[in-house]
């Protein structure tokens, strides 16, 4: 898994590529990267999952922990570029009720306002 | 004067900030001029009543006002409905200016006893002749009319002033600035009474001629109020805040209904009534004593005038020294009880003093009543209105201030008249100090009853006050965990993701997971579809890794089969078979050492359903140390089922591994209360890896017992910066999830103050770049608020924090006000400079002061 960080319109964008799974984790996790940005005062977080094929329970845990940390500080956490298969799983597990999921990343970026 | 210089000047009298300085000055000037006018008019009213009406008639003047004020309230409400606020205030002031000229004319005609001969306008001859004859013939009526007009003027002007304050300032601003306004009012009172006394004493002007000075003052007040509204419009246009609301369209009946429909306003009205009745009875005690102690009418007038001046000067000094400090240090909670408590003590004193001290007592109690009324009681009364919603406030405030207060004055007069008749005061009053003492004592019993009622009502009003305030402080966002808990079954979600993933690894593992899922949950059809539980694709090779038997489909319909209780029992029985345990004990040892990750994962998963024999638990211990994170994940799942103490050190070590941490925390939490002391030891053991120690508080939070909370708090008291965030997070979670857990104030408070001090220190000595320092400070402040939830209602603290961070200017001020009620003085001293909107220089000054004091 590779995570690249960039910023646009005061939104921190995490471009994730590969698989977010337990067995394929670099030194730093998605959650720790998000927390570092929150510590720097950033409050708008977008995770671009366009390059992600699969997420296991660890990956879901990372996304939920990142969401919780951002939300607790009054920030906004959104996902974009999610595959149809993952979206289906997110829907069935009701995660779409909590996480703001956008198909298109540009739209997601605009939605931060 | 520039904004900065103006602010520096005004800050001597009140806590004035930034762009509010100009509006604050205009308001002070407005109130100064209005009270200047009162205290010119008031002595004229008093001296005319004393001079031209018999003492027994005085209560009737109050009663007449009480009865007629309703019509004025109705008219005033109608005017408020129909006019923009600025126009309404301008028109009111012009109306009173016209009234002043009219009464001057009436008094001038009477005093000169001359009928002016009209020569210019023939059409006015009859009117002038008629009015001038009427004035002379019906003279005492004009005095009562003037008394009524004066009462209306005072009541309306004060109400209008505070309505304008409510228009322009929010509660927190008003609380800071109310002292400045009251100072303006007190100086106005001193100036007015001084001008009246000097002008009449030195015979520069006749009393009625003073009525011609008053219009000049009201004209200046008119300018001040227009400056305020013009300035406010500019500010509103700039910030788009829309502070000045549209006037409420109400009539008298609707005003009454607004009060009746709000328990808070009913209590406020009752509190004001009891205070005014008590004050009114004190007034009659005072008049009786003065009349008996000082026989000469001229001396009476000069004595009352001198006392009047003295009261205003004492009020000013008391106000400058005390009101602001009491409000800022003790808040409304204690400020509200000072007047009734003090007056009760003072009134009780009349039962103990000899007749020789009665004049001194009467002056003291009257002076105290008026001093409180001019200062702290007035400030508190106005502050109590501020959180009332704007539409209700305009309706209710007019009714209470103008109608209820006059009704209470009338009630006081009626009670005194009743006492006068029932207790035969007219016959028993031989104009000596002894009879004055008797009348004062007997009136005092009734006054004491109303003072006690007043005191009780202050507590009831204060109990309602925070609830009214909180209506305007709503949640800005749902906290992350709350949102997840409300919408998602996280445990099931994680299991589903694991199950889907396991399909890629091994069919056996996949069916094991499905078995676990279906056995414990009723899965939705969509989920079954997603997991691929379909009749036509069932080719399971259950336990193939363990038994190494190859594959063979034997499930005709998986979902029905797994859901079947008999099938589940069969599986359980297999696991319980001694022969199975014997074989598996040996086999597990081999699998744990196997090179196949899939085999080890399947073994780790199956152990959860096996009988915890020694070989099984030993195998589990080894699997917990497996290099594969997938194996460890399933081993942790099995460990959470068996919960063996010998596995705890292994699981603790996994807390250092970011990949296994969450599952390890979940597993340790599954051990429940029995594991708390092991966790406490790990948390405090300096040799443990920091990552492990940082992960332990979350486990204790999930266990959530009283013991867990105590361990967290005890560890927080060690003041380890590296553990502090995790400890505070965990304590916050326990407070959120377990309302039954108790936190002792003596344990929490020092830590809370310590966190607040650290935040102050971070604000004063920022490290890193501007943005980073600000972000770090924000997180420190958040931590203080999180810990505050242990001592104060969580909902109130969270709402206040969220509105301070993301609320409107108004909701942020309401939040400050609600915290002001909630928090103790020490914490406020440290927290306020961190959360109040202050200029940098001022903030640093306050931070330094707070750090020095604590």
- pLDDT higher than threshold 50 for residue B329: yes
- pLDDT higher than threshold 90 for residue B842: no
Amino acid B447: pLDDT: 96
Q: Are B267 and B457 in contact (CB under 8 A)?
A: yes
- Band (B530; pLDDT cuts 50, 70, 90): low
Cα torsion angle, B23, B25, B26, B30, sign:
positive
Cα(A76)–Cα(A87) distance, integer angstroms: 19
The distance of A106 to chain B (nearest Cα, Å) reads 24
Q: Which tens digit of pLDDT belongs to each residue from B756-779?
A: 999 999 999 888 777 888 888 999
Q: Which two tokens stand for residue B109?
A: 């005609």
Q: Coil, strand or helix: which one is A13? A: strand
Contact (CB<8Å) B628/A23: yes
C-alpha Rg value of chain A to the nearest Å: 13
Q: B737 or A23: whose pLDDT is higher? A: B737
- Segment among B473-482, B578-587, B826-835 with least mean pLDDT: B578-587
Q: Degrees (nearest 5) of the Cα angle B376, B380, B382?
A: 120
Q: Are B658 and B633 in contact (CB under 8 A)?
A: no
User: Which residue of chain B is at minimal alpha-carbon distance from A92?
Assistant: B527
Q: Coil, strand or helix: which one is A83? A: coil
Tokens 């508190």, residue? B380
- pLDDT higher than threshold 50 for residue B503: yes
How confident is the model over B92-101, as a mean pLDDT?
Answer: 89
User: Which residue of chain B is at minimal alpha-carbon distance from A58?
Assistant: B659
Q: Which tens digit of pLDDT belongs to each residue from B140-160?
A: 677 788 888 888 888 788 878
What residues of A are in contact with residue B527 (Cβ under 8 Å)? Answer: 92
- Segment among A35-49, B266-280, B482-496 with least mean pLDDT: B482-496
Cα(B359)–Cα(B285) distance, integer angstroms: 10
- Segment among B23-37, B164-178, B225-239, B514-528 with least mean pLDDT: B225-239
> Can you give the residue ranges of every domain in chain A?
2-111
How confident is the model over B577-599, as a mean pLDDT?
Answer: 80
A98 and B CB contact within 8 Å: yes
Partners of A80 in beta bridges: A48, A102
- Band (B251; pLDDT cuts 50, 70, 90): low
User: Which helix (H) or strand (E) segment is B159 a member of?
Assistant: helix B139-168
What 3 state SS string does B23-58 have?
A: HHHHHHHHHHHHHHHHHHHHHHHHHHHHHHCCHHHH
Q: B629 or B163: whose pLDDT is higher? A: B629
Cα(B31)–Cα(B160) distance, integer angstroms: 10
**Residue whose C-alpha is closest to residue B500's, from B513, B489, B488:** B513
Cα(B563)–Cα(B518) distance, integer angstroms: 7
Q: Are B35 and B192 in contact (CB under 8 A)?
A: yes
- pLDDT higher than threshold 50 for residue B295: yes
DSSP state of B15: -
Amino acid B761: pLDDT: 92
Q: What residues have CB less than 8 Å from B291, skipping those under 6 apart?
A: B55, B300, B431, B436
Amino acid B659: pLDDT: 87
What residues of B are in contact with residue A38 (Cβ under 8 Å)? Answer: 775, 779
- Sequence length of chain A is 113
Amino acid B682: pLDDT: 94
- pLDDT higher than threshold 70 for residue B751: yes
Q: B376 or B227: whose pLDDT is higher? A: B376
Q: Which two tokens stand for residue B840?
A: 């940098």
CATH classification code of A2-111 = 3.30.750.24
Contact (CB<8Å) A74/B776: no
Contact (CB<8Å) A73/B779: yes
- pLDDT higher than threshold 50 for residue B239: no
Give how far the C-alpha of residue B166 lies from the chain's centroid of Cα atoms, to the nearest Å: 16
The distance of B537 to chain A (nearest Cα, Å) reads 20
User: Which residue of chain B is at minimal alpha-carbon distance from A26?
Assistant: B659
The distance of A104 to chain B (nearest Cα, Å) reads 24
What residues of B are in contact with residue A3 (Cβ under 8 Å)? Answer: none
Contact (CB<8Å) B481/A54: no
User: Which residue of chain A is at minimal alpha-carbon distance from B807?
Assistant: A74
Q: Which of A52-66, B199-213, B703-717 holds the top average pLDDT? A: B703-717
- Band (A107; pLDDT cuts 50, 70, 90): very high
A84 and B CB contact within 8 Å: no
**Residue whose C-alpha is closest to residue B179's, from B24, B36, B311:** B24
| Average pLDDT value over all residues in chain B | 81
Cα(B805)–Cα(B802) distance, integer angstroms: 5
What residues of A are in contact with residue B601 (Cβ under 8 Å)? Answer: none
Amino acid B41: pLDDT: 85
Identity of the residue in A42, A68, A73 whose CB atom sits nearest the CB atom of B484: A68
Q: Which tens digit of pLDDT belongs to each residue from B1-33?
A: 455 666 666 666 666 666 677 788 888 888 999
Q: B436 or B516: whose pLDDT is higher? A: B436
**Buried b or exposed e, range B228-260, using 16+ CB within 10 angstroms:** bbebbeebeeeeeeebbeebbebebeebbebbe
Q: Which of B206-210, B435-439, B725-729, B809-813 holds the top average pLDDT? A: B725-729
A10 and B CB contact within 8 Å: no
- Sequence length of chain B is 854
Cα torsion angle, B104, B106, B107, B108, sign:
positive
């Amino acid at each position: 898994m590779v995570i690249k960080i960039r910023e646009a319109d005061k939104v921190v964008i995490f471009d994730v590529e590969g698989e977010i799974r337990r067995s394929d984790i670099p030194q730093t996790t998605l959650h720790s990267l998000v927390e570092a940005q929150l510590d720097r005062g950033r409050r708008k977080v977008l995770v671009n999952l366009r390059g992600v094929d699969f997420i296991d329970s660890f990956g879901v845990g990372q996304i939920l922990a990142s969401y919780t940390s951002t939300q607790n500080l009054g920030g906004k956490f959104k996902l974009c570029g999610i595959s149809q298969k993952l979206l289906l799983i997110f829907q069935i597990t009701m995660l779409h009720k909590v996480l703001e999921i956008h198909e298109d990343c540009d739209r997601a970026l605009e939605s931060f306002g | 004067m520039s904004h900065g210089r103006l602010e520096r000047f005004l800050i001597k009298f009140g806590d004035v900030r930034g762009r509010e300085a100009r509006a604050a000055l205009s308001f002070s000037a407005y109130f100064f001029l209005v009270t200047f006018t009162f205290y010119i008019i008031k002595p004229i009213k008093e001296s005319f009543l004393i001079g031209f009406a018999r003492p027994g008639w005085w209560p009737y003047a109050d009663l007449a006002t009480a009865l007629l004020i309703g019509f004025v309230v109705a008219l005033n409400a109608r005017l408020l409905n129909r006019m923009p606020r600025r126009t309404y205030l301008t028109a009111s002031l012009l109306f009173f200016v016209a009234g002043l000229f009219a009464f001057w004319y009436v008094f001038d005609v009477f005093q000169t006893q001359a009928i002016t001969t009209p020569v210019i306008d023939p059409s006015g001859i009859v009117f002038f002749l008629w009015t001038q004859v009427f004035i002379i013939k019906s003279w005492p009526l004009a005095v009562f009319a003037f008394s009524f007009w004066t009462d209306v003027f005072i009541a309306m002007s004060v109400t209008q002033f505070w309505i304008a304050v409510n228009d322009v300032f929010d509660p927190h601003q008003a609380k800071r600035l109310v002292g400045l306004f009251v100072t303006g009012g007190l100086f106005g009172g001193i100036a007015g009474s001084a001008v009246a006394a000097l002008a009449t004493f030195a015979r520069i002007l006749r009393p009625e001629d003073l009525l011609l000075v008053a219009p000049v003052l009201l004209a200046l007040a008119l300018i001040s109020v227009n400056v305020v509204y013009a300035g406010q419009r500019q500010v509103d246009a700039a910030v788009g805040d829309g502070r000045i609301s549209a006037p409420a369209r109400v009539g008298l009946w609707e005003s009454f209904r607004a009060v009746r429909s709000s328990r808070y306003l009913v209590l406020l009205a009752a509190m004001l009534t009891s205070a005014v009745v008590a004050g009114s009875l004190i007034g009659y005690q005072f008049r009786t004593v003065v009349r008996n102690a000082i026989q000469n009418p001229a001396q009476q007038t000069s004595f009352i005038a001198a006392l009047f001046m003295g009261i205003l000067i004492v009020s000013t000094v008391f106000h400058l020294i005390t009101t602001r400090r009491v409000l800022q240090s003790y808040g409304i909670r204690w400020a509200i009880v000072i007047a009734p408590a003090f007056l009760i003590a003072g009134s009780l004193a009349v039962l103990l003093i000899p007749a020789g001290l009665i004049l001194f007592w009467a002056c003291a109690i009257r002076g105290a009543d008026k001093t409180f009324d001019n200062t702290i009681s007035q400030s508190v009364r106005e502050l109590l209105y501020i959180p009332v919603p704007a539409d209700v406030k305009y309706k209710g405030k007019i009714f209470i201030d103008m109608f209820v207060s006059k009704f209470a004055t009338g009630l006081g007069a009626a009670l005194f008249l009743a006492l006068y008749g029932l207790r035969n005061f007219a016959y028993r009053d031989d104009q000596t100090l002894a009879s004055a003492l008797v009348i004062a004592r007997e009136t005092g019993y009734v006054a004491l009853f109303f003072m006690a009622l007043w005191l009780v009502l202050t507590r009831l009003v204060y109990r309602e006050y925070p609830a009214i305030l909180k209506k305007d402080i709503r949640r800005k966002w749902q906290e992350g965990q709350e949102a997840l808990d409300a919408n998602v079954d996280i445990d099931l979600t994680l299991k589903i993701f694991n199950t889907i993933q396991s399909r890629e690894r091994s069919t056996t593992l996949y069916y094991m997971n499905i078995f676990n899922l279906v056995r414990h949950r009723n899965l939705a059809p969509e989920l079954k579809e997603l997991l691929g539980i379909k009749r036509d694709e069932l080719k399971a090779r259950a336990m193939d890794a363990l038994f190494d038997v190859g594959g063979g489909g034997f499930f005709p319909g998986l979902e029905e089969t797994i859901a079947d209780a008999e099938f589940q029992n069969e599986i359980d029985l297999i696991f319980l078979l001694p022969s199975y345990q014997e074989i598996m004990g040996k086999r597990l040892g081999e699998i744990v050492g196997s090179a196949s990750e899939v085999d080890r994962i399947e073994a780790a998963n199956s152990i959860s359903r096996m009988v915890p024999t020694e070989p099984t638990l030993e195998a589990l211990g080894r699997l917990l140390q497996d290099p594969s994170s997938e194996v460890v994940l399933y081993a942790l799942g099995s460990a959470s089922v068996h919960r063996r103490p010998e596995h705890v050190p292994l699981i603790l070590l996994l807390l250092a591994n970011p990949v296994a941490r969450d599952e390890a925390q979940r597993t340790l939490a599954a051990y429940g209360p029995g594991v708390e002391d092991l966790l406490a030891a790990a948390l405090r053991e300096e040799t443990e890896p920091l990552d492990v120690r940082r992960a332990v508080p979350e486990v204790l939070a999930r266990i959530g017992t009283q013991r867990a909370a105590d361990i967290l708090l005890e560890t927080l008291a060690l003041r380890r910066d590296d553990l502090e965030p995790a400890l505070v997070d965990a304590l916050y979670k326990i407070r959120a999830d377990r309302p039954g857990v108790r936190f002792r104030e003596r344990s929490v408070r020092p830590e809370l103050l310590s966190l607040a001090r650290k935040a102050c220190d971070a604000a004063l000595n920022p490290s890193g770049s501007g943005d980073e320092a600000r972000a770090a400070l924000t997180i420190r402040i958040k931590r203080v608020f999180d810990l505050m939830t242990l001592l104060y209602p969580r909902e109130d603290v969270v709402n206040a924090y969220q509105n301070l961070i993301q609320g409107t200017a108004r909701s942020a001020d309401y939040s400050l006000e609600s915290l002001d009620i909630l928090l103790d003085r020490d914490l406020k001293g440290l927290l306020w400079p961190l959360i109040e909107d202050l200029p940098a220089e001022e903030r640093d000054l306050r931070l330094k002061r707070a750090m020095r004091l604590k």
